[in-house]
C-alpha cells in the first residue's frame, strides 16, 4: 500500500517486516515531500502491530543522492521536518530500522542511512559525503556518526575528500552490517527477520564511541596536511574540526561544533562561489530555446583538419573517448610532427602510470593521418583547426562542402573569426557551428559552442552532447569578435596595458592579479603564448585599415625580438630551460622610454587599483555580452572564465565577483575611469550593468 497523500514513499508489509521504499525520481533527493513521506511511512509501519522491524530502501539508482539542490534557499527547503528531524525519527524509532542501500548514497542520503540502526548494501553502492565540494560540511550529523561507524581516520578521509567509496569496502564495519549480492530487498528482509529473531540490539550510531588512542597525533598530522592543501577554502578545515569533535565527547557536543561550522560555511563567500558554480555548470547545459528531446546526430567518426597546436589536442579528446579520427595536414612533415606530438603526450601519461602501453597503441591505432580529403566522405563531424586566416578557412570549408556526406557537422575552432561568414562558404550553413577549444585542448575543460545565425537546433544539441562525451564543459556563445572569453580577455588585456603605461610594472600587475587568485597574470600569460602572435595581428589589422601601427609596449618588445618564453625574453627574462619569470631592467627601460615618448608621467598605482581595473573591465564587457544575447546567462560567463582563463574558483567567476562587490560600486568605479582625460570609451558602464545597479539587482 502507499502512504496517504504522499507518492514518494510506499509501504509494503511482508510478514513482520515493513518495507519503506523511497521513489522520488531521479535520485531520491531529500526534498520536502520525501522528508515528509519518510516520517509518514514510519508512522504507518509503527502503527501496524504485525510489523516488528522496518526496512528503508530506495531505487536501484539511488538510496538517496542527498539534498535537493533546487530547494536550496527556498521555503520548501526550509519546511519542517528538516533532515535532522527525520534522521532523529529513524534513530529513535521504537521498531528497529534497517537501511537497504543500492546506487548512490551521498551527502544527506548517507546521513539518513546512518540514522538507521542497521545497514545492508549492494557491494557497488556508492557511499560518500561530498559536501566539501560545495564548500560545506555534512550538516545533519554526518561528521559525528561516520567516525562512530568507521573510525576517525577513514571518516576524516571521506569527509575531507568528498570522494565516494564502494559499500563492499565497509564490510565488517558497523557502517555496512552486511553486503548483499543479488536481490537487495529480499536480502534486507531476511536481515530484518534475523534482527527480530535474534533480538539483535538496535544500537544508535550516536551512542557509539570514537576510540582511537592515536587520535591526537593523527589529528595534528591531518591539520597540517589539510591546511596546506586547502588554501582559499575554509571547508576542509571546518570538516576536520567537526570530525575531531567526535573524539572523546558526547554526540550532542560534537553536533554543536558541526552546526556552528555548517552555518559559518553556509555564509562564507567561498561556499557561495562553489554552490554558484555547481548550479552554473548544470545551467550551462540547458539552451533556453532548444527542446530537451531534440534528436541527436550520431557521431561515430570525426575528421580534424590541421595537426598543429590545437588540432593535435582536439584529436586526442576523441581518441580518449574511443571515437576514431582522420587527421588531415597539408604536408607530410607537419602530419608526422603532429602525430609524434600526440604519441609523446600519451607516452608521458603512460610514464606517470595513468595509461597502459596497450592503451597508448589502441589510441594511436584509432587515428589515421592523411594529406587528402579522401577519408572525409563518411565522417560525422569535422573540426577545422587550420591557420587563423579567413582565406584559408574559405578553401577548407568549400572543400568540406564538396566532400562531406549530407548531415555531417562542419565545425571551426576559430578564435575570433565570424562563424556566419565561414558557414556562408558552404551550401549547408545549418550544419556549421563553432567549436572553440582552449589550449592545451586535451587538457582544458572549456568548450565554447558558437551558434551561428543558421546553425540547426540538432547541430547545437549534438555539439553539446559531443562536449559531454569528450568530458568538456560546454557553454553556448553567439557570434561576435572573440566570442565570450576572448572578447572579455581583450578588455582585460587593454586594462593591464593601460596600467603599465600609467606607472605599474609587469611584475606588480601580475603579482596583484595572482594575489587576487588568477592562475597567471596577463604578462606572464603573454610571454607564455608568444608576443609575436598579437604583434602580427596588430600589424595586419593596421595594414588592412591603411594606417600606420602606433607601437605599444607589447609591439616594442616584439620589435626587439622579445617574443616571450620561446626567445628567452619578453616582458620578463627566462633562464635557459626554465619557465620562472625574472623581472628585467631592459623591459623597465623600454616602458620608461615609451612613457617619455608619449608624455606620460608615471604615477604610483596600488595593487587594489590593478585588481579593480582589470576585473571591472572584464565585468563591463561581460555585461555587454549578456545584453547582446551573446551569452544566455551571467553564470555561463562565469563558467567560461573559470574553466578557460584560470579565474579563481573561490571567487565563483567575474560576474559573481561583481555581485559580491555590489553592482552599484562597480558602476561608480567604471564612471570614475571613464571620466579620466583620454579614457578609452569602453570604460563607460554597460547599460545593463547600470540598470541592474539602479534596480538594486545582481547578475546571478
Ligand atoms: P597552428 O599553426 O599550430 O596549426 C595549424 C595547422 O594547420 C598547421 O600545422 C598547418 O600546417 C595546418 N594547416 C594550415 N592550412 C591547412 C589546410 N588548408 N589543410 C590542412 N592543414 C592545414 O595553429 P593553432 O594554434 O593550432 O590554431 C589553429 C586554429 O585554432 C586557429 O583558428 C586558431 O585561432 C584556433 N585556436 C588556437 C588556440 C591556441 O591557443 N593556439 C586556442 C583556440 C583556438
Mutate to test the pocket of ligand 1, among 310, 443, 490 (most ligand atoms within 8 A of CB): 310
Mutate to test the pocket of ligand 1, among 308, 412, 413, 442 (most ligand atoms within 8 A of CB): 308
Mutate to test the pocket of ligand 1, among 304, 305, 306, 384 (most ligand atoms within 8 A of CB): 306
Three state DSSP letters for 477-519: ECCCCCHHHHHHHHHHHHHHHHHHHHCCCHHHHHHHHHHHCCC
User: What average pLDDT does range 151-158 have in this prediction?
Assistant: 96
Q: Strand, coil or helix: what is 358?
A: helix
- Cα of 341 vs centre of ligand 1, distance in Å, is 15
CATH of domain 520-602: 1.10.1040.50
- Cα of 248 vs centre of ligand 1, distance in Å, is 63
Q: Which atom of ligand 1 is nearest to the CA of 393?
A: 18
Give the containing element (helix H, strand E) for 99.
Answer: strand 97-101
**Would you state the pLDDT for residue 164?**
98
413 lines ligand 1 (CB under 6 A): yes
User: What average pLDDT does range 476-494 have in this prediction?
Assistant: 96
311 lines ligand 1 (CB under 6 A): yes
Name the band, by pLDDT with cuts 50, 70 and 90, for residue 5. Answer: low
Mean of all residue pLDDT scores within the chain: 96
Fill in the DSSP letter of residue 7. Answer: S
Among protein residues, the one whose CA lies closest to atom 44 of ligand 1: 415
User: What average pLDDT does range 550-558 have in this prediction?
Assistant: 94
User: Other CB atoms closer than 10 Å to residue 545's CB: what's the count?
Assistant: 9
- Cα of 23 vs centre of ligand 1, distance in Å, is 51
Class of domain 302-477: alpha beta
- Cα of 413 vs centre of ligand 1, distance in Å, is 8
The CATH number corresponding to 485-503+605-629+632-700 among 3.10.450.40, 1.10.1040.50, 1.10.150.170, 3.40.640.10 equals: 1.10.1040.50
Domain residue spans of the chain: 9-264, 302-477, 485-503+605-629+632-700, 520-602
Grid cell locating 200: 539483535
User: What average pLDDT does range 214-222 have in this prediction?
Assistant: 94
User: With contact defined as beta carbons under 8 Å apart, do 9 and 38 qualify?
Assistant: yes
Name the band, by pLDDT with cuts 50, 70 and 90, for residue 2. Answer: very low
- Cα of 181 vs centre of ligand 1, distance in Å, is 53
Among protein residues, the one whose CA lies closest to atom 15 of ligand 1: 386
Q: Are strands 572-573 and 582-583 parallel, antiparallel or unpaired?
A: antiparallel
Residues 6+ apart with CB under 8 A from 130: 66, 106, 107, 162, 163, 164
Checking ipTM against 0.95, whether it exceeds it is: yes
407 lines ligand 1 (CB under 6 A): no
User: What average pLDDT does range 648-675 have in this prediction?
Assistant: 97
Q: How far apart are CA 277 and CA 650, in angstroms?
A: 10
CA 78 from chain centre, in angstroms, equals: 27
Within 13 Å, how many C-alpha atoms sit on residue 330's CB side?
Answer: 9
% the chain with pLDDT above 70? 99
pLDDT at residue 71 greater than cutoff 90: no
Among protein residues, the one whose CA lies closest to atom 39 of ligand 1: 439
Grid cell locating 472: 568538456
CATH of domain 9-264: 3.90.226.10
387 lines ligand 1 (CB under 6 A): yes
Among protein residues, the one whose CA lies closest to atom 30 of ligand 1: 385
Q: How far apart are CA 470 and CA 317, in angstroms?
A: 6
Grid cell locating 422: 565561414
List residues with catalytic annotation.
Answer: 111, 131
pLDDT at residue 1 greater than cutoff 80: no
Exposed/middle/buried for 687, CB within 10 Å: 0-12, 13-18, 19+?
exposed
Q: Are strands 9-14 and 17-22 parallel, antiparallel or unpaired?
A: antiparallel
- Cα of 41 vs centre of ligand 1, distance in Å, is 62
pTM above 0.80, yes or no: yes
Rounded alpha-carbon distances, angstroms, from residue 531 to 218, 317, 526: 50, 28, 6
Q: How far apart are CA 2 and CA 101, in angstroms?
A: 21
Q: How far apart are CA 247 and CA 251, in angstroms?
A: 9
- pLDDT one-digit tens code per residue, 401-455: 999 999 999 999 999 999 999 999 999 999 999 999 999 999 999 999 999 999 9
User: Would you say the CATH fold of 520-602 matches that of 302-477?
Assistant: no
pLDDT at residue 73 greater than cutoff 90: no
pLDDT at residue 514 greater than cutoff 90: yes
Q: How far apart are CA 494 and CA 500, in angstroms?
A: 10
Point out the least confidently predicted range of 107-116, 443-452, 465-474, 573-582. Answer: 573-582
Amino acid at each position: 500500500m502507499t502512504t496517504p497523500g504522499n507518492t514518494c514513499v510506499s509501504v509494503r508489509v511482508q510478514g513482520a517486516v515493513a518495507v519503506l521504499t523511497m521513489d522520488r525520481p531521479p535520485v531520491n533527493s531529500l526534498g520536502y515531500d520525501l522528508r515528509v513521506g519518510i516520517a509518514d511511512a514510519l508512522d504507518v509501519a509503527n502503527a501496524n502491530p504485525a510489523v516488528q522491524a522496518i526496512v528503508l530502501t530506495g531505487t536501484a539508482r539511488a538510496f538517496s543522492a542527498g539534498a535537493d539542490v533546487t530547494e536550496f534557499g527556498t521555503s520548501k527547503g526550509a519546511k519542517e521536518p528538516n533532515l535532522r528531524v527525520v534522521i532523529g525519527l529513524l534513530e529513535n524509532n521504537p521498531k528497529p530500522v534497517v537501511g537497504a542501500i543500492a546506487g548512490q548514497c551521498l551527502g544527506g542520503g548517507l546521513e539518513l542511512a546512518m540514522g538507521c540502526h542497521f545497514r545492508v548494501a549492494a557491494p557497488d553502492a556508492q557511499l560518500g559525503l561530498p559536501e566539501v565540494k560545495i564548500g560545506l560540511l555534512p550538516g545533519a550529523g554526518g561528521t559525528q556518526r561516520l567516525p562512530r561507524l568507521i573510525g576517525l581516520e577513514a571518516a576524516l578521509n571521506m569527509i575531507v575528500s568528498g570522494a565516494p567509496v564502494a559499500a563492499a569496502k565497509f564490510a565488517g564495519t558497523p557502517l555496512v552490517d552486511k553486503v548483499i549480492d543479488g536481490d537487495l530487498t529480499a536480502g534486507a528482509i531476511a536481515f530484518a527477520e534475523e534482527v527480530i529473531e535474534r533480538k539483535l540490539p538496535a544500537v544508535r550510531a550516536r551512542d557509539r564511541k570514537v576510540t582511537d588512542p592515536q587520535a591526537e597525533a593523527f589529528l595534528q598530522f591531518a591539520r597540517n596536511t589539510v591546511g596546506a592543501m586547502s588554501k582559499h577554502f575554509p571547508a576542509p578545515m571546518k570538516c576536520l574540526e567537526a570530525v575531531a569533535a567526535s573524539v572523546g565527547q558526547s554526540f550532542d557536543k560534537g553536533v554543536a561544533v558541526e552546526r556552528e561550522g555548517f552555518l559559518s560555511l553556509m555564509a562564507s563567500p567561498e561556499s557561495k562561489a562553489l554552490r554558484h558554480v555547481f548550479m552554473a555548470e548544470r545551467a550551462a547545459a540547458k539552451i533556453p530555446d532548444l527542446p530537451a528531446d531534440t534528436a541527436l546526430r550520431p557521431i561515430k567518426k570525426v575528421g580534424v583538419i590541421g595537426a598543429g597546436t590545437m588540432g593535435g589536442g582536439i584529436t586526442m579528446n576523441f581518441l580518449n573517448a574511443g571515437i576514431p579520427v582522420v587527421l588531415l595536414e597539408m604536408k607530410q612533415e607537419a602530419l608526422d610532427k603532429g602525430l609524434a606530438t600526440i604519441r609523446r603526450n600519451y607516452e608521458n601519461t603512460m610514464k606517470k602510470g595513468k595509461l597502459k602501453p596497450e592503451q597508448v597503441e589502441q589510441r594511436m591505432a584509432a587515428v589515421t593521418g592523411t594529406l587528402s580529403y579522401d577519408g572525409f566522405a563518411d565522417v560525422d563531424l569535422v573540426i577545422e583547426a587550420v591557420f587563423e586566416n579567413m582565406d584559408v578557412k574559405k578553401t577548407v570549408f568549400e572543400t568540406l562542402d564538396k566532400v562531406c556526406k549530407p548531415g555531417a557537422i562542419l565545425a571551426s575552432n576559430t578564435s575570433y573569426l565570424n562563424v556566419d561568414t565561414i558557414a556562408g562558404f558552404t551550401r549547408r550553413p545549418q550544419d556549421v557551428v563553432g567549436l572553440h577549444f582552449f589550449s592545451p585542448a586535451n587538457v582544458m575543460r572549456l568548450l565554447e559552442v558558437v551558434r551561428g545565425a543558421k546553425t540547426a537546433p540538432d547541430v547545437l544539441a549534438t555539439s553539446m552532447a559531443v562536449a559531454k562525451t569528450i568530458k568538456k564543459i560546454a557553454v553556448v556563445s553567439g557570434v561576435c569578435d572573440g566570442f565570450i572569453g576572448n572578447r572579455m580577455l581583450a578588455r582585460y588585456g587593454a586594462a593591464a596595458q593601460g596600467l603599465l603605461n600609467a606607472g605599474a610594472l609587469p611584475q606588480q600587475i601580475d603579482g596583484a592579479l595572482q594575489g587576487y587568485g588568477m592562475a597567471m597574470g596577463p604578462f606572464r600569460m603573454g610571454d607564455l603564448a608568444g608576443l609575436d602572435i598579437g604583434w602580427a595581428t596588430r600589424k595586419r589589422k593596421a595594414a588592412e585599415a591603411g594606417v600606420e601601427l602606433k607601437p605599444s609596449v607589447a609591439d616594442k618588445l616584439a620589435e626587439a625580438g622579445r617574443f616571450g618564453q620561446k626567445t628567452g625574453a619578453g616582458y620578463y627574462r627566462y633562464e635557459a630551460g626554465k619557465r620562472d619569470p625574472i623581472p628585467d631592467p631592459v623591459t623597465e627601460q623600454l616602458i620608461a622610454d615609451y612613457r617619455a615618448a608619449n608624455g606620460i608621467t608615471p604615477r604610483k598605482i596600488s595593487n587594489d587599483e590593478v585588481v579593480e581595473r582589470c576585473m571591472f573591465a572584464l565585468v563591463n564587457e561581460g555585461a555587454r555580452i549578456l545584453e547582446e544575447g551573446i551569452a544566455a546567462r551571467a553564470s555561463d560567463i562565469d563558467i567560461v572564465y573559470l574553466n578557460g582563463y584560470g579565474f579563481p574558483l573561490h571567487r565563483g567567476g567575474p560576474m559573481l565577483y561583481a555581485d559580491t562587490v555590489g553592482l552599484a560600486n562597480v558602476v561608480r568605479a567604471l564612471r570614475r575611469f571613464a571620466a579620466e582625460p583620454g579614457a578609452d570609451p569602453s570604460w563607460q558602464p554597460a547599460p545593463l550593468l547600470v540598470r541592474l545597479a539602479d534596480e538594486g539587482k545582481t547578475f546571478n
